[in-house]
Structure 1
Amino acid sequence: MINQRELWRSLIVFLLLISTVVALSVADGTNSSINNSVNGTSNTTTNLTDAPYVPGEIIIKYKNTDSVSAMSVPSAKLASLGAGVSDDFSAEGLKGMQMIDVDTSISVEKAIEELNKSSYVAYAEPNYVIQLSLPSEPELPNNTTAESFSAESVSGAPNDPRFSEQWALSNTGQTGGTSGADIGALSAWSVTTGSDSIVVAVIDTGVDYTHPDLAANIWTNPGEIAGNGIDDDGNGYIDDVHGWDFINNDNDPMDDNGHGTHCAGVIGAVGNNGIGVSGIDQKVKIMPLKFLRADGSGDVAASLNAIAYARKMGADVISCSWGGTAKSQALEDAISSTNVLFACAAGNSGVNTDIIPQYPSCFTEAQIISVAASNAKDGIPSYSNYGPVSVDVAAPGDGILSLYPTSLGSQYMSMKGTSMATPHVAGLAALLLSQKSSLTPAELKSLIMSNVDTISAWSGKTVTGGRIDAGKTLSALSGSSVSALPGQSNKPKDLNGDGVYDDINGNGRRDYADVSLYFQYLDWIKSNEPVAAFDISGNGRIDYSDVVKLFQGI
């Protein structure tokens, strides 16, 4: 059966090709790379070498997936390329895939052309450059110490002193946004705050694994003995105690850019520890996998090894806050080889990715969930990509306060972009797995997408037309069903689809009788019903404020 996303994309591309003007403008893009390009323009031409790539390096996949080397292919043409194997991804579970270096006397374009003529080769492509990008420079708060702000007095909130600044988790309008335009973290935390048994791999610029607000939630390889110079667990990596650096090929994935630490903090900054901020998962294990340098640059080959490591070492969720226009078949194959959910950033060019695809977010693998960025008013920031077919959900990504490497001069930083939205989805997936570890990637994706808050601004902009809601999603997972209140024959109903039961007596309308009944049975509801289903005020608990909010809404 033809994948629906691919069918729509093919139709759109076909219509675009009819227009000579559009085709020429696309072909003329000069800044296409696997990163989001400047000014929202990207090159969608099918020429494999239009995007930047590492000189002299080619990723090749053989049709015969047994262990082979480039030199075993009986082709005089290969020998003439002066090709030599520099990396064998077969050892990482990507059978028949290698990277070869070619002689500088022949261009990568010509070498690929010759390789693709071989009956032994499934495909050959450049080792594309990956260049990290954000919509703007990070915004440094006036005071960057962990204790500089007071925690908001909200029931159910953690004691982290800067939690009151985390509008994405609990939006009270504190940044000039819309109250309630958040992911409902307080409601979710009434169910679970996460689990140390769930591992989220952050494939990025590395992670400051010594950060005081993150160290307790950093993954430690249980099979490795630190500092003994031995590959104790036999995974091919020596002393990989806290992940790996695939750029420098060493066991120190320390973040020297800031981006990876910020993303990791959104997922798993230690919650309720009295310092700084809280991650969506107050308890979780973050696996730092560095494949981007201090300047934000890397390549596909490094990402393949990082993905393979995450799979091999048992990551439950993979967070990918990077992407762009170069379509790497090798990268798609690496993702396909896993059985975990990939949260992928939709990109920051402000374009429709149904028309100008971004990768890996636009790959059609079932385990990929593509994420756009929403702001504190549930609107669409000008930089966020969107796509009614290719982008699945929105998540908070504008002005997000999270962690920053201590070595870079500030432990906390506000940043924006779909890079910040993506770890919100990865964090929600980890919360769900903390409740039910057997959930498949498809089940996780379905739960997240089926329980968004539908937002008018996002209608026709994403598949779901909404922003993620952690509280609603956790309630759906637990299968919480409401009961008829004492003396009533009908169960309460959710009339507007926001996950909260505003028709308390179940008669199909919201009226004063619901207010009276809610007030009368307030204590009974608190003892017998899920908080998320009856938290009308959105403050994370069931109390008199819900009665007031219900009355105001009539």
Structure 2
Amino acid sequence: MNMHFAHLTVVVKLLILSGFLITGFSCAVLGDEQNVTPTVQSPETTAAYVPGELIVKYKDGSVAALAAEGTGPVALEALGAEVATDFSAEGLSNLQALDISGSLSVKEAIEELEQSPYVAYAEPNFIISLSLPETEPANENDTGEISALSYPNDPKFSDQWGLTNTGQTGGKSGADISAAKGWDITTGSDSIVVAVIDTGVDYTHPDLAANIWTNPGEIAGNGIDDDGNGYIDDVHGYDFINNDNDPMDDNGHGTHCAGVIGAIGNNGVGIAGLSWKVKIMPLKFLRADGNGDTAASLNAIAYARRMGADVISCSWGGTAKSQALGDAISSTNVLFACAAGNAGSNNDITPHYPSGFSSDQIISVAASDDDDGIPSFSNYGASSVDLAAPGDWIMSTYPTALGHQYVKMKGTSMATPHVAGLAALLLSKDSSLTPSALKTKILSSVDKLSAFSGKTVSGGRINVLKALGGGSSSGVVALPGQSNAPKDLNGDGKYEDVNGNSRTDFSDVVLFFKQMTWISSNEPVTVFDFSGNGRIDYTDVVTLFKSI
């Protein structure tokens, strides 16, 4: 052993003289936002709902038409009810929102309606509320520790640990979704549209404006419904809670989610979204205070379907189960990325919706942190939550009018758009993928992690490179100058054969030493952490040398 160390000393001296430096990897930790905690419960208990409003689904379309007139077997006039919105016009057949102005309460009206053989179900118009997000404004002058990275050149990319984690935030190097390597395959497509159903989006933000969806059939400002979709001057989406054509974000939550999905990448400004080229469709159904309702969400979903959204991102939800919401989702043919919730609870025991609906279209998303652990706020569920994505202190865009262009937030709200952005990348590569096929690709390519074993269906966290078909199944790729990827020769999970020549010898030690910095930024750190201290450093060189 002493002879080994003597040889190692000579090697180290030679490498130092050759200009190679030993680099340690240490970091700092970041923190918390819990921002989607709807206050609603089941209608049998003390559900929070909009007073005087309910949603009804009829069993037959002709009955719905008669009911709209207050006649026929379901006479709304007798109930003191009138049709506020007929969702049938939006592709949600036989579904209506009603206003109750008579003596009956919402609960009594529902009981009366459900006695009719012509009514499939009736439910309150549930209130959906975001808890106001905790935010940490970005330092406008701070370009971060690793901003010297040449690709992408966005100055705050160093703060996006979820995309490339070198331990810069105090977490574990390699605990990321391999986005930078995935971008070698595709950076997205302008033909893919992602609807962000939320508090709106700052469509003028300098890191988002060029990626905002524009309605091709509408002429701005002429006061005419040019495309005949029922909405006047809906040039950049719509506001369904205030009922106007301006989906500007006055809360911040929706803009933050939009930036994770599609902030323009490699433009020398701010951050990089998962999909550098994409179209974000802003659909507002939550007010500045974070409150909205089911009826507004139904209109938003119907609009997204009608106007051709390819992916829908829903960073909200609660414990109230709205069958109308489930039906609206089923009426589409797109993938829904849905937040699992921020109560730190088991969704298998206490269901959360819409993430908990049983549908091949829905991916339920938990949050991961910069150590590849599960944050205390994140909901989980072995059968009800599909996978995890980065959600702990995520840097993203913020409405300029609210005082900061970039902030950090945390919650499954932030994890969800990572999945929506990955879906957009996959569709940019193959637009024929069905929602079910997209879901399968995303779930089957996760990095399996102990923290999510038994806590999610897949047991892992998304991996962009693997989902796009790049890299090996382990995520390990060939080191610079090598033709073969490293190999695990003895099945212990460590890749001691660094140069991939099917044996472990002194040349592996030399190569590992020379490429420590590259390995920590481009490989799964766990497979090269020979010393087991959670990072790549000189102790790994020593441990690898001893093992030869």
TM-score category by the smaller chain? 0.7 to 0.9
Matched, 1:60 2:56: yes
Amino acid at match of 1:370: S
Range that drifts further, 152-161 or 377-386: 152-161
Deviates more, 1:343-352 or 1:59-68: 59-68
SS at match of 2:197: strand
Change (3 A) 1:112 1:154: same
Corresponding position of 1:263: 257
Shift of 1:440: 0.8
Give yes or no for contact 2:466–2:473 (8 Å, CA) kept in 1: no
Kept in 2: contact 1:193–1:431 (CA 8 A): yes
| Residue 358 of structure 1: how far off its partner (Å) | 0.5
CA contact (8 A) 2:70 2:77 kept: no
1:166 aligns with 2:160: yes
Matched residue, 2:120: 122
Distance 2:264 2:71 in 1: 52
Q: Residue 505 of structure 2 corresponds to which residue in structure 1?
A: 512
**How far apart, in 1, do the equivalents of 2:189 and 2:278 lie?**
5
Amino acid across the alignment from 2:383: V
In 1, Cα distance between equivalents of 2:150 and 2:66: 58
CA distance in 2, matches of 1:151, 1:268: 23
Unpaired segments ≥5 residues, structure 2: 1-34, 479-483, 530-535
Indicate the SS of the match to 2:395. Answer: strand
Name 2:37's counterpart in structure 1.
Answer: 36
Q: Contact 1:154/1:539 (CA < 8 Å) preserved in 2?
A: no
Q: In the alignment, which of 87, 93, 96 is matched to residue 95 of structure 1? A: 93
AA aligned opposite 2:360: A
Relative to structure 1, the CA distance from residue 502 to residue 238 in structure 2 (aligned partners, 3 Å threshold; closer, same or farther) is farther
Aligned to 1:386: 380
Paired letter, 1:512: D
**Per-residue displacement from partner, 1:404-434 (whole Å, max 9, x unpaired)?**
1011111111100000000000001111111
Q: CA contact under 8 A between 1:209 and 1:218: conserved in structure 2? A: yes
Match of 1:446 in 2: 440
SS at match of 1:475: coil
Preserved CA contact (<8 Å) 2:166 2:520: no
The answer to whether the Cα contact below 8 Å between 2:264 and 2:273 also exists between their aligned partners in 1 is yes
Per the TM alignment, residue 139 of structure 1 is displaced from its structure 2 partner at its CA by 1.9
Paired residues of 2:202 and 2:255 also in contact (CA < 8 A):
yes
Equivalent pairs: percent with the same residue? 66
Q: Is the 8 A contact 2:466 2:472 kept in 1?
A: no
Size of the alignment, in residue pairs?
490
Higher radius of gyration, 1 or 2: 2
Query: Partner of 1:413: helix, strand, or coil?
Result: strand
Corresponding residue for residue 455 of structure 2: 461
Contact 2:466 2:475 in 1 (8 A): no
Cα offsets for 1:48-77 (capped at 9, x unmatched)? 463101111110111013562424663476
**TM-score between both structures, scaled by the size of structure 1:** 0.81
CA RMSD, 1 decimal: 3.4
**Stretches of structure 1 lacking an aligned partner (at least 5 in a row):** 1-33, 485-489, 523-534
> In the alignment, is the contact (CA less than 8 A) between 1:85 and 1:98 conserved in 2?
yes
**Matches of 1:360 and 1:500 in 2, distance apart?**
41
Query: Is contact 1:49-1:109 (8 Å) kept?
Result: no
1:68 partner SS: helix
Q: Which residue of 2 aligns with 1:140?
A: 137
Distance 2:172 2:420 in 1: 24
Of 171, 176, 196, 1:202 maps to 196
1:248 paired with 2:236, answer no
* Partner residue of 2:355 out of 352, 355, 361: 361
Contact 2:260-2:414 at 8 Å conserved across structures: yes
Structure 2 CA distance for partners of 1:92 and 1:148, relative to 1, 3 Å:
same
8 Å contact kept, 1:37–1:349 = no
Q: Any conservation in 1 of the 2:185–2:470 contact (CA below 8 Å)? A: no
Shift of 1:402: 0.5
Where does residue 302 of structure 1 map in the other structure? 296
Q: In the alignment, is the contact (CA less than 8 A) between 1:277 and 1:402 conserved in 2?
A: yes
What displacement does 1:465 show?
1.1
Q: Which residue matches 1:408? A: 402
Matched AA of 2:65 = V
Kept in 2, the 8 Å contact 1:213–1:276? The answer is yes
